[in-house]
Structure 1
Amino acid sequence: MLELGQTPNAAPDAAPADLIKDTTDATFMADVVDASQTTPVIVDFWAPWCGPCKTLGPQLEAAVTAAKGKVRMVKVNVDENQQIAAQLRVQSIPMVYAFVDGQPIDGFQGAVPESQIKDFVTKLAAMSKEDGGLAEALEAAEEMLSMGEHDDAAQTFAAILGEEPENAAAMGGLARAHLAMGQVDEAEQLLSTAPDAIFNAPELEAVRAQIELARQAESAGPLAELQAAVDANPDDHAARFELAQALHANGDVEQAVDQLLELFRRDREWEDAKAKTQLFTIFDALPPQDPIALTGRRRLSSMIFA
């Protein structure tokens, strides 16, 4: 860290104008305060004579560029813009502030490890109200999937992952597209490569549950015979469980849930509470607000706590 007024050195390299720019006392309001209403803005106070600034500046620029528009950076030469430096009480440089919604919310002074810089930018990126159109692309991909346009949906989800590899919704969507095309192995392999940051994300856990159910469907028994077995002996728990699996494989999720709830009511401890485990797998595979999942969870809870 250097105090203001020390010996000159070279200025930091320039950076992309759309993400990283220089500002002045006159343009600070527009470049930082107004701009931060939609996108977090990092303000780097530097000077041409500041040695540590020559290291910190490029590291900040690299991290901001990697955030792909979710964070912007504005550089203030304190020698030429003393008014704004004084207003923000900048007494030594490098000094970095983060602005969100027009207010400084975080910052640090002096050179810091590159890992800390990346964490600083990543935290700000999560506050951004801009996503570079990814939300619209996700919505379009989901619509394609719902309309049976599985290949197009898969390509769109993959393109989103190319822009944002830790996008859990896109990875879950791509895996669901594989499942829709009957590519269970491909879906399972994809999820095994998920980055640590999203490995246990709800979107991915839901698809893992769907994969488990798809595996079960491959060996589901004959629906009519299983129904007949249960009708003949309602206490045949194995037949009822297999009936639920067959119903689910046949697309009758609600009836599958009904059969599992009935099995749980008759013997909640059968096969180490296998009915409850299967119910949770089905619920996890459904969207969180799906009526079948909501109703089923309530009915199961009422039985557990009865």
Structure 2
Amino acid sequence: MSGAVDLSSLKQPPAGSAGADHAVSVADFETKVLRRSTQVPVVVALYSQRSPGSVELVRTLERFAAADGGTWDLATVEAESNMQIAQALRVQGIPTVVAIAGGQPLADFEGAQPEEQVRQWLDAVLDAVAGKLEGGAPGEPEPAEDPRFTAAEDALERGDMAGAEAAYEAIIAAEPANAEAKNALRQLRFLARAQEVPESTIADADLDPTNVDLAIGAADLELLGQQPEAAFERLIGVIKRTAGDDRTKARTHLLELFELFDPAEAFVVAARRKLAAALY
């Protein structure tokens, strides 16, 4: 998830809403969660503002985090707008709470829980990591961020997609091998493209399964909706049914979608095998 751009920058929870003070996105997940978890456990709460139960759970965690004085950090994630985090943590339902320690998931639970059970779960997490992490004083400064990436992220937060794209392109121009900037730019361009696809495209593509352009748009919508397997299957199906330029176009787009994920992800590996079988 390193170097991923914040795909939800235009949908951040408003100040004062549940989770706003501890909000984490794809862009800062590595710093605020993975790196920080080498010092203290980080409790990641994946929730939706549309779910009263998950909002109440976040508020409970916020109260406990304040009371515990920095012995653990809270990271709140709007799951619907941060599909990569939800996928990386194998989230099946909302809300889901995952404790991260030493960069690895330690414990989790799904669904709204009474305060006393949440308190018991937190205490068990703290007991499990006692003396095993580096420790970090409350308010300890985080590692300095690259100001070039910060500028790009600030542009996204302002809704300036073109400015963010230009910022990432400038980094790549100066450092052609900068994988972090390349990955961020790929995701930014995907988001900009997918947000322009009409919602009716999936239904239209189902009615016309050999139309490559409809299939590509539908796959983008499915990926944006946290359904990567469905997106991959759709394009592989088109590749099986077409030939020539249409087949090449579908294959090229599928490969571009693969690049948005860690190549070791099980669903990416499986889709690459299916693609190979469809081609040969």
The TM-score normalised by the length of structure 1 is 0.41
Q: If you compute each CA radius of gyration, which structure gives the higher value, 1 or 2?
A: 1
Higher relative contact order (CA 8 A, sep 6+): 2
